[in-house]
């Protein structure tokens, strides 16, 4: 009975205790994701289908969609994000409690898609730290469910307690005040259909 050692700082630094607690925390986190659906275009329809009985997102513990960012830990950006909407998306992300994750659903949110325009963000990862990208236009609901499974596997590998004990930055490398504004593009004039500026057009 006298052989038990008290839990001290050396034990937690070696990782035994922290690793076991991390497994418990990650199990709870991965099986109780609360998504914040940011349905910006046609991908939002597939997002609604995913929650329905045919695909049954409840099997993965992520069916409780909330529209208050303070109750969510997963943001699903579904569709075309414009620069006008980008600041609002960043504010919503900043209001979500830590830990939080982001899924870029569809080609438009992943890379701008077919909208190679001055007004469209060419990938939501310019303003938010994206964890999983889902290809497709729009992606099928089962592809989004696959993304949630991939996110659950990523959450399994996280070490939240060890990160807190070591004082690591938990902000995914993007500061809470960081916001990338739209590049200074010249807005085409009415009737102008040139993609390139007039000085760069072929004669």
- pLDDT tens per residue across span 36-75: 888 888 888 888 887 777 877 777 776 777 778 888 888 9
How many domains does the chain contain in total?
1
Is there a domain that residue 8 lies in? Answer: no
Contacts of 15 (CB under 8 A, 6+ apart): 162
The verdict on residue 117 lying in a domain is yes
Query: CB-side exposure of 144: number of CA atoms within 13 Å?
Result: 33
Q: Evaluate whether residue 189 is within a structural domain.
A: no
pLDDT one-digit tens code per residue, 138-197: 888 888 888 888 888 888 877 766 666 665 555 454 443 334 433 443 433 334 434 434
Structural domain including 108 reads 34-149
Max distance between CA atoms of the chain, in angstroms, equals 90
Q: Does any domain span residue 59?
A: yes
Mean pLDDT score, 5-19? 53
Q: How confident is the model at residue 3 (pLDDT cuts 50, 70, 90)?
A: low
DSSP 124: G
For residue 84, what is the domain's CATH number? 3.40.50.12280
| All residues at 6 or more sequence positions from 119 whose CB lies less than 8 Å from its CB, including other chains | 82, 83, 84, 182
For residue 5, being part of any structural domain is answered with no
Residue 97 lies in a domain: yes
Q: Which helix (H) or strand (E) holds 74?
A: strand 74-78
| pTM of the entire predicted model | 0.69
In a domain, 119, yes or no: yes
Distance of CA 203 to the CA centre of its chain: 45
Give start and end residues of each alpha helix (H) in the chain: 9-14, 16-30, 43-51, 83-95, 107-111, 141-156, 160-166
Tokens of residue 8, six digits: 């001290």
């Amino acid at each position: 009975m006298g052989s038990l050692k008290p839990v001290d700082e050396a034990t937690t630094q070696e990782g035994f205790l922290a690793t076991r607690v991390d497994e418990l925390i990650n199990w709870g986190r991965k099986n109780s994701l609360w998504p914040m659906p940011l349905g910006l275009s046609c991908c939002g329809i597939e997002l609604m289908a995913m929650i329905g009985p045919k695909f049954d997102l409840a099997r993965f513990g992520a069916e409780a969609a909330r529209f208050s960012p303070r109750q969510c830990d997963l943001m699903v950006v579904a569709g075309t994000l414009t620069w006008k909407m980008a600041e609002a998306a960043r504010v919503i992300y900043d209001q979500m409690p830590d830990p939080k994750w982001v899924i870029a659903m569809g080609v438009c949110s992943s890379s701008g898609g077919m909208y190679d325009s001055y007004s469209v963000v060419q990938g939501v990862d310019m303003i938010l730290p994206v964890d999983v990208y889902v290809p497709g236009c729009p992606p099928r609901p089962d592809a989004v469910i696959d993304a949630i499974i991939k996110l659950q596997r990523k959450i399994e590998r996280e070490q939240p307690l060890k990160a807190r004990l070591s004082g690591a930055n938990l902000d995914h490398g993007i500061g809470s005040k960081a916001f990338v504004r739209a590049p200074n593009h010249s807005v085409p004039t009415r009737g102008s259909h040139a993609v390139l500026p007039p000085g760069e057009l072929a004669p």
